[in-house]
Structure 1
Amino acid sequence: MSGQLAVNTCSLDSFEGLHQAIRGSHVEVMQLGRGKFRGALSHVGIGDFSLSIGSFSVGVRTQRISTDDKLVVGMLLSSEDRVTHWSFDMRPADVLIMPPSTEHDGVFHGASAYAAIRLDLAEVMSLFKGEPRLSDPAAWLNKNVYHADPSIGMAATRRLPLIISRLARQQTALSDAVADFWKRSIVDAVTGTIVQSLPPDSRGLLPSAMQLVGKVDDYLDAAGLRPVHVSEICAHLNVSRRTLHRAFYEVLGLGPITYLRHKRLCAIHSALRESNPAMVTVARVAIQHGFIELGRFSHYYHSLFGEYPSETLGGRGFRARKEIDPSLAEPVPVGINTH
């Protein structure tokens, strides 16, 4: 997978601009609501994977033709009035499955915003390997809507625009590892409602909690400083999120997502401590380690270490090395991409 990142955002002054409402798909659009059309459309491309986010001020009808051979998973981010896709009514944070080569018909009766990811059906085998009911491509061949748990779904509706905003400010190419992390983060935000709707895992005997946590530690050690998404771990160990969550709480008293966040924070602390403030910024190090919301990142960092990342940058490790060689042109630690 390529780490090539492309982010495009544009304002729209007519419904015709929504013809690429989903990057790579041609969508026929008709304005239904009265009034001047105002909207915005953003696309994030990471290799051949895409996330699209659109918003518009009046009601529209959208139709996708059946020649599109990609799987599309959409989420309604907000709406002022009724929204239907096929015969399904949707509420904000609900998730829609559009199988490959299937016509799609959606009606937005008022101002709305949406997000959609478009990917090859074969990719679900790796993205959802830990969830056997989702890693089978056949599971995505039926049109469906998943209704969101408000506490989970609404968090995703806020997170997706933030990801686009932050990646749009990312001026350097992402490494393959970092690109894969953000791809998984986007997929996770869009499909979290689907994962939560699955019944408990019933595959029989599972690894003991201690063994499972140990295998995660081994995997993280092998990964080094790069960010690792929880879905990558589930895929590698072939376990569901529920199983992983249960094991981590039993052994460590915290969930795997919190544990992974602490690991990334520790990696950032070590990187900042050894880095030259003239060559490295906190924001760049944060995004390379998988943090998108810098305010929240700073809060997490301060809560864990009792200091802010700007206080750590150029700290004792860097100063000690500089004392040994005052003319040292400080190298950037492994895992921080500044090019």
Structure 2
Amino acid sequence: MQPHFQTRAAVEIRRCRNIDEQAMLLDAWNQSYCQISRGAFDGSVSSIAAGGVRVLVERLNRTVYQRGHVAQSKLAIGIPFQLEGHALLCGQTSHRDGVHVFSGDGGFEFLSPDKHVIVNLEIDPQAVTSSLVRSQLDELAPFVGTRPGVLNVDPGRLDELRAVLRQMLDTVAATPTLLDDPGVVAAFEKSAIFGVAEVLQGMPNAEAQGTPDARIVRHWQLVRTVRELVEASPDCPLSVAELCARLRASRRTLQYAFEDTLGVNPSAYVRAVRLDHVRRELRNASSVSEAATRWGFWHFGNFSNEYREQFGELPSETFRRAKHRGF
């Protein structure tokens, strides 16, 4: 579901060819994205804001490793409309019939698949207009405000919520001026929040997310440590051998951890992150070769081919576009 409408203060759609631009559109989520699978990125974020509820429909066409931390004043959950392929949220298996909780302590890490359309509900309890709806949010907080993870819910109820959200978004997209009516805004808030409550009804306690597999947790923690290392510009490890030396871990251990979580080998991941660093540095670098060599790419022919395979364009094209009109 991807409604088409003109940009306004409360209703807008943004199509992105740049993964960093897309991450910034979810501005209360403090996100960073790293593209894992190869090919040109094409995504979009549709946004509808009504009172204390902001609906963000995010579409991605590449596997992306996301890290973020939702503002403490907000509750954030995701309802998958399309989620096909290997995916994990904070070490838990991510699937279409699970409510994805992004708010809570410690932030979140989300490996999203190539085929990804998710409707995110970002809720500001203080901005909700109805005291009845605010009291409902107090009841939901133990489920969606404590820690990120996947809530396994009744698929039938989740389908009903998808249908309601689709109808709400299509209606407002077709007639954005409806949101000028305070009564419509109040109805939008109630429909979204009580719709979520209906899905979560009957869950016994806030531990409904369950406990992730211990092996997955260990591997996820190792991958998180690797990510922190490779993002530590300008001291990014340039090879798996260097990574093993720093972590005092065997190559086999890294291999198992990465294949178990991200579905790629550590060499492919390190290469993807280094290419991502180069892509960002092309905004301000004086030349392509300067940006490439800073991240250990010494053979410019091979580098250009790898860059094109990863992002769907040559580094020189990225560089020229950045110089002419910015990223």
Please report the TM-score for the alignment, with normalisation by the length of structure 2.
0.51
- Aligned with residue 79 of structure 1, among 75, 79, 83: 83
- Aligned with residue 127 of structure 1, among 133, 136, 145: 133
Match of 1:262 in 2: none
Distance 2:197 2:21 in 1: 27
Match of 1:142 in 2: 147
Q: How does 1:165-244 map to 2 (within 5 A)?
A: 165-172=170-177, 173-198=179-204
Query: What amino acid maps onto 2:21 in structure 1?
Result: G
Shift, 1:7, TM fit:
0.7
Percent of aligned positions with the same letter in both sequences? 13
Shift, 1:93, TM fit:
3.4
Distance 1:196 1:78 in 2: 25
Moved over 4 A (4+): 121-125, 135-139
Change (3 A) 1:156 1:67: closer
Distance 1:130 1:100 in 2: 18
Match of 1:318 in 2: none
Match of 1:6 in 2: 10
3-state SS of 2:201 partner: helix
Distance 2:91 2:40 in 1: 28
Distance 2:94 2:116 in 1: 12
Query: What amino acid maps onto 2:82 in structure 1?
Result: S
Shift, 1:85, TM fit:
0.7
Contact 2:51 2:189 survives alignment (8 Å)? no
Match of 2:50 in 1: 46
Match of 1:160 in 2: 165
Please report the TM-score for the alignment, with normalisation by the length of structure 1.
0.50
Shift, 1:150, TM fit:
1.9
Contact 1:43 1:50 survives alignment (8 Å)? yes
3-state SS of 1:44 partner: strand
- What per-residue deviation string (whole Å, max 9, x for no partner) do you get for residues 138-163 of structure 1? 97323342113222212333442442
Taking CA–CA contacts closer than 8 Å with sequence separation of 6 or more, which of the two structures ends up with the larger relative contact order?
2
Query: What amino acid maps onto 1:65 in structure 2?
Result: H
Contact 1:70 1:100 survives alignment (8 Å)? no
- What per-residue deviation string (whole Å, max 9, x for no partner) do you get for residues 139-189 of structure 1? 732334211322221233344244223212224243222211111212234
- What per-residue deviation string (whole Å, max 9, x for no partner) do you get for residues 50-84 of structure 1? 11111111111111136554221222221120221
Distance 1:14 1:181 in 2: 35
Distance 1:131 1:12 in 2: 33
Contact 1:39 1:54 survives alignment (8 Å)? yes
Shift, 1:119, TM fit:
1.9
Match of 1:105 in 2: 109
3-state SS of 1:197 partner: coil
Q: What RMSD in Å do the two structures reach over aligned CA positions?
A: 3.1
Contact 1:147 1:193 survives alignment (8 Å)? no
Contact 2:30 2:68 survives alignment (8 Å)? yes
Distance 1:131 1:30 in 2: 33
Distance 2:32 2:64 in 1: 10
Residue segments in structure 2 that go unaligned for 5+ positions in a row: 1-7, 206-327
Query: What amino acid maps onto 1:41 in structure 2?
Result: V
Contact 2:13 2:44 survives alignment (8 Å)? yes
3-state SS of 2:80 partner: strand
- What per-residue deviation string (whole Å, max 9, x for no partner) do you get for residues 225-248 of structure 1? xxxxxxxxxxxxxxxxxxxxxxxx
Shift, 1:20, TM fit:
3.4
Q: How does 1:90-101 map to 2 (within 5 A)?
A: 90-100=94-104
3-state SS of 2:187 partner: helix
3-state SS of 2:135 partner: coil
Change (3 A) 1:30 1:191: farther
Change (3 A) 1:159 1:31: farther
3-state SS of 2:175 partner: coil
Question: How many residue pairs were aligned?
Answer: 195
Residue segments in structure 1 that go unaligned for 5+ positions in a row: 200-339
Contact 1:94 1:145 survives alignment (8 Å)? yes
